[in-house]
Structure 1
C-alpha cells in the first residue's frame, strides 16, 4: 500500500504519542520509509530513542542551521506526505494561524507552502475537540487541502484513529488520485438465508477480497460504498483474528441475498431510488445525480438459493427436505436498472481447469455486459492469498499472490476503464 512512499511523521504532546512507535512500525510494514519530527511536549511522553528505533532514522527535535523543515517538507524535499499523528488542539490551532514555534508546526507551514500533502490525526479530550475554536481551526486547515483522519470518540476522549485508518489516509494522500471523484460500490462477504431462528444456508466467503478492493479504490481517491454480507464459516484461528476495521468506506451491512440486491441496487441508483420512473422529484433542474455509483464491483459470494424460513426451530433427529428457490443474479438486476454502469464481476469455480474457468467467465461477461471478470478457484475462500484470472473479451491474464495485490490490479483496471469512458 505504501511502497516507495516517504512519510515525515510529526509527533506532538498528546498522550496518544505512546502509540507512535507502533504506528511507525505499521507504516514501515506497509512499505513506507519514515522519518520523525517531535515537539518538546512529545519528548516528555515518548523518548526520541524509541522513535529512532521505530523509524530506523534520526529524529528531528529542533530546527537548526541545517533547515531540517525544508529538507524534509520543502519543494523537492524528502517527504511525499507530512503526517501529524497525534495532533493536539494546540498544534492544529497553531497550523491554522501559521505559528511556527515547534519543529512540527514549522514543518507543517513548510509543507503547506510547498504543496506537500499533509495528513493530520487529532487526539485530545472530547471537550477540547468540541471547542468552537478548535473546530474552526480544523475547518480552516481542511479548506487548505489538508486531510484529517477523524478520531474515535470513546470514554469522553477523541482517541487517535486506528493505524488502518491512518495508513489508508496517508496512501490516499500520496497516491495519484486515479479514481478521484468516482463513486465505487463494492459488494463483499457471504450471504446467509435463514432456515429457522438458529440455522442458515451460507458459504465460506470471508469478504477479504471485497474489502481489499474497497481499500484499493479508496487509496486511489474514490468515494467507496461497501455492501457487506456475513463472514462465512472459518477455522477457530481465522475467526479469532478480529474483524478488519473499515475506515475507507461507507459500510452497509446486509445478511440475505435479497437485502444484498436491494441495497446494492439502491446505492447504484443513488437519489434516483427515491424518485419516480423519470429520475426526477419535481425539484430538480437537471437529471444529473452525483450520488449514484460510477462503478460496481460485485465481489460478494451471494447465495444462489433461498428457503422459506420456519418461525420455530426445526427439531433435530429427523430427515428433512428443504425446498430451495433460486435468487436473482445481482449483476443482471443492476444492469437492468443501470445499463450504463461499468460492472466488474467475480466468478468462482471448483474445476481447477483454467480453460473452463475462462469459458464460464466469458459467458457471464457477455450476458451482463461486464467490464471484465475475475475468475478464481473456490479453494481460496477465507484465505489471504488467491489465484485468479483477469478475463476480458479478447484475453485473460493470470495472477497469484496476496489478495491485496490482486485488489491493486483490479483498482488499476477500474481506473483504466473509467479513463477510457471519460475520454470517449
Structure 2
C-alpha cells in the first residue's frame, strides 16, 4: 500500500506514543521508508532509540544548523508525506497558529509551505478534543488540506486511530489519487436468506476481497459506498444488508450517482419463504427454493452506462473454462471486466485470479489486498479521463 513512499513520522507527547514503534513497523511492512521526528515531551514517553530501532533511521530530536525540517519536508524534501501520530491538542493548536517551537511543529509549518501532504492522528482526553479552540484549530488546519484520521472515542478519551486506519489514510494522502472525485460502489461478502428466526441459507464468502477493493479505491481517492452484511468501516459509507433482495435494493439506490460498481459479493442464488417461528428439529424438512434476482443484470437494466466490474467464481480449476465463463458474463451484461477465481480462495488472505477483459486476460497471484489494488487501478483506467469531470 505504501511501496516506495517516504514517511516522516512526527511523534508528540501523548501517552499513545507508546504505540509508535508498532506503527513504524506497520508503515514499513506496507512498503514505506520511515524517519522519526520527536518532541521533547514525546521523548519522555518513548525513547528515541526505540524509534530509531523501529525505523532503522536516525531520529530528529532537535532542529540544528543542518535544517532537518527543510531536508525532510521542504521543497524537494525527503518526505512524500508528514504523518503526525499521535498528535496532542497542544501540537494541533500550534500548527494552526504557525508556532514552531518543536521539531514536529517546525516540520509541519515547512510541509504546509512546501505543499507536502500532512496526515494527523489526534490522541487526547475527550474533553480536550471537544474544546472549542481545539475544534477550531482542527477545522482551520483541515481547510489548509491537512488530512485527519479521526480518533476512537472510548472511555472518556479520544484514542488514537487504529494502525490500519492511519496507514490507509497516509497512503491516500501520499498517492496520486487517480479516482479523485469518483463514487465507487462495492458489494462484498455473503448474503443470507432466513429459513426461520434462527436458521439461514448462506455461503462461505468472508468479504475480504470486497473490503480489499473498497480500501484500494479509497486509497486512490474515491468516495466509497460499501454494501455488505458486515461491520462499519471508517473509509466507506456502509449500507448494511442481509438478504439478496436487500443488497439489490441498497446497491440500486447507491448507484443513482455512482461512477462505477464492483460486484464482489457472493450473493445467494436462492431464497426461501421464511417461517415466522422456529422450525422444530428432528423431522424431515423440504425447502422450496426460489431464484433471487441477478444483481448485475438488474443494475445494468437501470444504469445502462455504468461501468460494472463482475466477479465469477468457479470450482473446476480449469483456467480456460474460467475465462470462457467470465467472457460470457462480460458480454451478456456489458461489463467493464470480470475477475475470475476459484472457490478455494474463499476466506483466505491469499488469492489467485484472472482479470478478464474483452480481448485479454491477466493472471494475478498474491494477497487479496494486492488484487484489490489491481482492480482499483483498472477501474481508474476505465474511468479516465472522465473521473473528475463532475
- TM-score bracket, normalised by the shorter chain, equals over 0.9
| Alignment partner of 1:294 out of 259, 277, 282 | 259
The residue aligned with 2:303 is 338
Provide the secondary structure at the position in 2 that maps to 1:184.
strand
Following the alignment from structure 1 to structure 2, what is the Cα–Cα distance between the partners of residues 186 and 32?
A: 27
Mapped pair 1:247 → 2:234: yes
Deviations along 1:77-136, one digit per CA (max 9) or x if unpaired, are 111100000111111111111110000000000111111100001111111111111111
The reply to whether residue 351 of structure 1 matches residue 338 of structure 2 is no
- SS of match in other structure, 2:185: strand
CA 1:39 to 1:423, structure 2 compared with 1: closer, same or farther past 3 Å? Answer: closer
Q: C-alpha distance in 2, partners of 1:195/1:35?
A: 56
Q: For 1:98-247, what aligned pairs fall within 5 Å after superposition?
A: 98-229=98-229, 246-247=233-234
1:126-172 deviation digits (Å, cap 9, x = unpaired): 11111111111111111111001111111111111111110001000
Identify the match of residue 339 of structure 2 among 374, 387, 393. Answer: 374
Cα shift at 1:421: 4.9
- Consecutive unaligned residues in structure 2, runs of 5 or more: none
Would you say the 8 A contact 1:164–1:247 is kept in 2?
A: no
Partner of 1:264: 251
Number of residue equivalences: 389
* Match of residue 321 from structure 1: 286
Q: Distance in 2 between matches of 1:421 and 1:176?
A: 16
CA distance in 2, matches of 1:381, 1:419: 31
C-alpha separation in 2, matches of 1:14 and 1:406: 37
Q: In structure 2, what is the Cα distance between the partners aligned to 1:13 and 1:332?
A: 55
Counterpart secondary structure, 2:83: strand
C-alpha deviation, 1:423, in angstroms: 10
Q: Contact (CA 8 Å) 2:92, 2:134: kept in 1 or not?
A: yes
Moved over 3 A (4+): 420-424
Question: CA, structure 1 residues 421+137, in 2 after alignment: closer, same or farther (shift >3 Å)?
Answer: closer
Take 1:422 and 1:259, find their aligned partners in 2: how far apart are those partners?
28
Counterpart contact for 1:229–1:300, Cα < 8 Å: no
Determine helix, strand or coil for the equivalent of 2:178.
Answer: coil
Per the TM alignment, residue 296 of structure 1 is displaced from its structure 2 partner at its CA by 0.4
Q: How far is the alpha carbon of 1:402 from its aligned partner?
A: 1.1
Per-residue deviation at 1:73?
A: 0.7
String of CA shifts for 1:282-321, please: whole Å, max 9, x gaps.
Answer: xxxxxxxxxx211100000000000011122222222211
Instruction: State the partner residue of 2:9.
Output: 9
TM-score, normalised via structure 1 length: 0.90
Q: TM-score, normalised by structure 2?
A: 0.97
Deviation at 1:228, TM superposition (A): 1.2
Shift of 1:229: 2.5
